[in-house]
Amino acid sequence: MKNLSEDLSNRLKKFNVNMSFQPTNPLHKFIGVKKDPLDGMSHCNVVYKISCNECDASYVGQNKRQLHTRVNEHRRDINKRSGSPSVISTHKSESGHDFNWNHVEILDEEIAYKKRMVSEMINIKRQLNPLNLQSDTLALPDVYSPILNTFPSK
């Protein structure tokens, strides 16, 4: 406060007390350091959905790494000849359908692994036509089903 602060400071100096002043409007309130937003495929710690182009089937997964890394693994898995095929590969080979690789949807972002796993299970249960194996949601107690059924399917 103009004049009052200086006057108080001068009076306190007699008692060997020094005052320091802090501006009421620091510069950081007006000038913020903003980062450019990340491209969706660069996000980490996400629950994501890959949709089929020709039907309502979809696959929900979770990933700690950058999303584009995991999506590229899914795409490469379709072309591999050995090992057990993924549910995405099986859907493509049985139906001839392809997936919308350019529009993978981020359903949730969660750093904590256990919370991300719960989010994945909930989002699998909310799909109209999930490609995920039913074993993917065994850890989600059936007690939550009535609550999940109140939300519209995705």
pLDDT over 70 (residue 153): no
Residue 32 within a domain: no
pLDDT over 70 (residue 98): yes
∠ CA 87-55-50 to the nearest 5 degrees? 50
pLDDT over 90 (residue 55): yes
- Sheet containing 57-63, strands listed edge to edge, beginning at the edge strand earlier in sequence: 105-109, 46-51, 57-63, 129-130
pLDDT of residue 66: 95
Angle of helix 87-95 versus helix 67-79 axis, rounded to 10:
50
Residue 137 within a domain: yes
pLDDT (mean) for 31-54: 87
Residue 31 within a domain: no
Structural domain harbouring 65: 40-149
Nearest to 154 by CA among 79, 48, 73: 48
Residue 6 within a domain: no
What predicted TM-score, i.e. pTM, was given to this entire model? 0.71
pLDDT of residue 102: 92
CA distance 107 to 60: 9
pLDDT, one tens digit per residue, over 12-42 is 888 888 877 777 777 777 777 777 777 888 9
pLDDT over 70 (residue 2): no
Residue 133 within a domain: yes
pLDDT of residue 1: 61
| Residue where the block lists tokens 């796993």 | 117
pLDDT, one tens digit per residue, over 60-92 is 999 999 999 999 999 998 888 777 889 999 999
∠ CA 121-54-116 to the nearest 5 degrees? 15
pLDDT over 70 (residue 130): yes
Q: Tokens representing 28?
A: 């950081």
Residue 142 within a domain: yes
pLDDT, one tens digit per residue, over 101-125 is 999 999 999 999 999 998 999 899 8
Residue 22 within a domain: no
The answer to whether 57 touches 91, Cβ cutoff 8 Å, is yes
Residue 57 within a domain: yes
pLDDT of residue 144: 73
CA distance 153 to 128: 6
**51 — pLDDT class (breaks 50, 70, 90):** very high
The total of structural domains in the chain comes to: 1
